[in-house]
Amino acid sequence: MKLSARANVASSFTIIKGAMIEETYAVFAAWDFERSKRDNLDRLREQNFIGASSSTWLRDVAKVLNRRFDPVGRDRSLVVLAKHGLPVEEWKPLLLWHITRDEFLVRDFLANWLFDAYDSGAFRVHADDVEKYLATIENRGGKTEHSWSEQTTRRVAAGLLKIAVDFGLLRGSVSKEFVSSHLPERSFVYLLHAMRDENLSPSKLISSRDWRLFLMRPADVEHELLRLHQYRKLEYHVAGSVVQLSLPCTSTREYAERMVA
């Protein structure tokens, strides 16, 4: 999966609108691959088959999905899984992975700032801390589409924390506490395929910073690989500095088809 030209743009709009997990699942479940992306989103706006509470929210859902996803290309597997009814709890981590291929701020916030807080032993995080993080966006390789007011910065900080809550990494209302979560087995194996599709070697795959999106350290990844090897779900061997990893399928798309076969 190649990152798009917008991959370093920090969009306040998409962050404030949120994860849209249920809405995205519903839209993708009804997606028609015979029609263009524009036609599918026009049908959403015309028919409101997701039961949006207002025309404004319906318009925002279509706008966010248009910006976030490439349903016939990079994100096709995610759409296929929704169309075939993969349980949302297994689908949700995959949605996070696909969103972060093209949203710099969600990716950087989760994989770097939030993970660092978690890894340092923090018990909870606050919006004020996130606002300080947002002041460093340009130093971190990102750029905003325009200057943010103080109110926008506060809303983006709250939006990032809400996204982390929606994806099961945090919980709480005013102050957010870390949640001890575990990736569903098939979701984990899907992510292994997705990272391998990016031509990562087995050792680099295990140490990939993308696991931080799920608050996983390399040791956590290796522990899960050893468990799956034990149950013959994949093959994982380590001999000194040589790491061998054999996955069930040749690509993410093939594994996605197996998940719903």
Please tell me the predicted confidence (pLDDT) of residue 173: 84
Q: Which of 180, 201, 218 lies at the terminal end of a domain, its last residue?
A: 180
Domain end among 160, 180, 200: 180
- Are residue 161 and residue 253 in the same domain, yes or no? no
Instruction: Tally DSSP H helices, then E strands, for the chain.
Output: 14, 7
User: How do residues 168-221 score in pLDDT, each as one tens digit?
Assistant: 999 998 889 999 889 999 999 999 999 999 988 999 999 999 999 999 999 999
- Token pair 């040589």: residue: 242
Do 199 and 121 belong together in one domain? Answer: no
The last residue of one of the domains, among 180, 207, 235, is 180
The pLDDT tens digits for 118-149 are 999 999 999 999 999 999 998 898 888 888 99
CATH number of the CATH domain containing 196:
1.10.10
Residue span of the structural domain in which 44 resides = 1-180
**Distances 225 to 62, 138, 211 between C-alpha atoms, Å:** 38, 36, 13
Counted domains in the chain: 2
pTM, whole model, 2 decimals? 0.95
Task: Label residue 5 by pLDDT band (50, 70, 90).
Answer: low
Nearest to 252 by CA among 80, 90, 110, 89: 80
How far apart are the C-alpha atoms of 160 and 109, rounded to whole Å?
A: 8
User: Do residues 252 and 193 lie in contact, with contact meaning Cβ atoms separated by under 8 Å?
Assistant: yes
Give the Cβ contact number of residue 50 at 10 Å. 18
Look up the CATH number of the domain holding residue 106: 1.10.3540
- Give bridge partners of residue 37 from the DSSP assignment: none
| Position 17 confidence tier, pLDDT thresholds 50, 70, 90 | very high
Structure tokens at 178: 């870390």
Alpha helices by DSSP H, listed for 198-248, are: 202-206, 218-230
Q: What is the helix (H) or strand (E) element at residue 43, kind and residue range?
A: helix 37-47
232: left (phi over 0), alpha (psi -120 to 50) or beta: left
- Cα separation, 238 vs 189, in Å, equals 18
